[in-house]
Chain A
């Protein structure tokens, strides 16, 4: 069983500016990894998805990577 990355690192608020963390949860083509692959709790997966989408809007992360 994979542990929740955010609760094990004591991260309460997932920030869209923290690209280094968010990059761990996107696949090479830029898509958000599934809940099954990340092992993150449902609550944090929703927050994670939101943060990645906000980072994409600000041009920090790609919508599609080649």
Chain B
């Protein structure tokens, strides 16, 4: 059991799909990639379906001696755990794929790495207090709504 843990590392592959693929087929391509990872004994930790974005600069890719340039692409990523000896095979497979303009295969951590959008930069404790208040409010709201509805109904009937 310990050996497996040592060999299993968390990786993340970010990739750009060619913009010539129709929008409907993009989730299919993403699914294929996930299946490929699973077929190499990987376990998906988290992922994001590719979405179209304007590239910061023009990229080119040569497929069968034809050089094509891209200004937009679909960017998606998958975070997964995989044995370290299998990752090279996966990389080779991704290199061949003609739908991928380029990809980035990196080691990462299991935790969610994208930070929350809004920060309260002063102190964390203050932020926590605010969050707990918000949750309390959310919990209390539905009960109030039901009560209000009942009250309104009673008033209407009267």
CB within 8 Å of B: which residues of A? 8-13, 15-18, 20-21, 54, 56-63, 65
Grouping DSSP codes into helix (H, G, I), strand (E, B) and loop, the B interface class, with mixed when no group exceeds half, is strand
Docked Cα-Cα span, A11 to B119, in Å, equals 11
Interface stretch among B32-40, B103-111, B149-157? Answer: B103-111
Contact A59 B108 (CB under 8 A): no
Number of B positions contacting A (CB below 8 A) = 23
Does B59 touch A at the CB level, under 8 Å? yes
Mark B21-47 against chain A: 1 for CB-CB distance below 8 A, else 0: 000000000000000000000000000
| Candidate in A17, A21, A59, A61 with the most chain B CB atoms within 10 angstroms | A59
What's the minimum C-beta distance from A22 to chain B, rounded to whole angstroms?
11
9 contacts between A and B (CB under 8 A): A8-B121, A10-B124, A13-B108, A13-B113, A15-B115, A16-B104, A54-B106, A59-B73, A65-B56
**B14 pairs with A16, CB closer than 8 A:** yes
B contact set with A: CB distance below 8 Å: 14, 16, 53, 55-57, 59, 73, 75, 77, 102, 104, 106, 108-109, 111, 113-115, 117, 119, 121, 124
**Residues of chain A contacted by B73 (CB below 8 angstroms):** 59
The count of A-to-B residue pairs whose CB atoms sit within 8 angstroms is 54
Task: Enumerate chain A residues within 8 angstroms of B121, measured Cβ to Cβ.
Answer: 8-9
Residues of B within 8 A of A10 (CB): 124
Query: A18 — nearest CB in chain B belongs to which residue?
Result: B114
Chain B residue nearest in CB terms to A6 = B115
Q: Which residues of B contact A17 (CB under 8 A)?
A: 14, 77, 113-114
